[in-house]
Chains A and B, each alone.
Chain A
Amino acid sequence: MIVLDATALSALLRIGAVDILLETFPPNSFIIPGEVWREIRRTDMIRNALDRILKEHRARFRVLEADQQQRALASQLEVRLHRGESEAIAIAKLTGARLITDDLTARKMAKQVNVPLGGTLLVMKLAYEKCPIETHEELQNLLRRLSEDLYFNRSLEEWVLQAQKLSEG
Chain B
Amino acid sequence: MSMEDLRHIVDLPEYSEKVFQPEKPVSDFYREIPLWNGEPQAPVGKLRSQNLVVLPEGLVTLIDRDLDKEISFLVSFGLYAEKRISASKAANLNGMNYEEFLAELRSRGLRLPIGPESIQEAEQEYQRFLERE
Contacts and interface: CB of A to CB of B under 8 A. Distances in A.
A40 B122 CA distance: 26
Mostly, the B contact residues are: helix
A107 B115 CA distance: 7
Q: What's the dominant secondary structure at chain A's contact region?
A: helix
Contacts of B70: none
B112 interface: yes
Most chain B Cβ neighbours within 10 Å, of A102, A108, A125, A149:
A149
B86 A80 contact: yes
Interface residues on B, range: 35 or more
Contacts of B126: 118, 122, 125-126
Nearest to B81: A104
B114 A81 contact: no
Interface residues of A, number: 42
B132 interface: yes
A7 B131 contact: no
Contacts of B129: 98, 116-118, 122
A152 to B, nearest CB: 6
B97 A39 contact: yes
Given A7-B87, A104-B114, A119 B125 contact: yes
B125 A122 contact: yes
A69 interface: no
